Structure 1
Amino acid sequence: MSPVVFRHRGYRFLFYANEGTPREPPHIHVIKDHIDAKFWLWPDVSLAYNDGFDARIVRKLIPIIEAQRGTIERAWNDFFGEAD
């Protein structure tokens, strides 16, 4: 199961139910047209890996993630049962 936190202009912003053991720090995957990128949320939103988005798209995704960082982190904590 991959909980989709939100959608924006055809992009799905989600995380995976199995995020490693031990679990990785909070982050978000962005998927569109079978292309996936992963962004760390803290200390600043930053690209962890990119599997095909061009640099222009990555630059556009960062402020979207920054604006939704609180929502993403709450969804992460709710799903994984972690305290705020």
Structure 2
Amino acid sequence: MSPTVLREGPFRLFFFSREEPRMHVHVSHPDGEAKFGLTPEVALADSVGLSARQLAEAQDVVERHTGEIRDAWLRHFGA
């Protein structure tokens, strides 16, 4: 299961239900994908297929929606 948290432009932000326990979000784009850790701050954990510009745009989306993403994480996985 991979619930979508939000969509913005070409980006889809989502969680994998059975992955690592660390709070993070996956970002899908038609050209590739990235994974960002959310604590203690937003940080790129891994990526494939995305250019430096696309990664910067993806990180901007994650940073602007961090509160919403964290709230969705807690609702989905529990506190």
Provide the TM-score with structure 1 as the length reference: 0.86
Are the aligned partners of 2:31 and 2:50 in contact in 1 as well (CA < 8 Å)?
Answer: no
Contact 2:32–2:49 (8 Å) recurs in 1: yes
Equivalent residue in structure 2 for 1:46, among 19, 23, 43: 43
Could you tell me which amino acid in structure 1 is paired with residue 56 of structure 2? R
Report the equivalent of 2:14: 14
Query: What is the aligned-residue RMSD (CA, Å)?
Result: 1.2
* Amino acid corresponding to residue 12 of structure 2 in structure 1: R
Equivalent pairs counted in the alignment come to 79
Q: Aligned residue for 1:81?
A: 78
- Structure 1 residue runs of 4+, over 3 Å off? none
Which protein is bigger by CA-based radius of gyration? 1
Give the drift of 1:34. 6.0
Q: Does 1:3 align with 2:25?
A: no
Structure 2 stretches of 5 or more lacking a match? none
Q: Which whole-Å CA distance do the structure 2 matches of 1:36 and 1:62 have between them?
A: 12
Q: Once the two structures are aligned, what percentage of the paired residues are identical?
A: 37
Matched with 1:55 is: 52
Amino acid at match of 2:78: G
Supply the distance in 1 between the matched residues of 2:71 and 2:41 (Cα, whole angstroms).
17
The one-letter code of the counterpart of 1:65 is V
* Distance in 1 separating the partners of 2:55 and 2:48: 11
Larger relative contact order (C-alpha < 8 A, sep ≥ 6)? 2
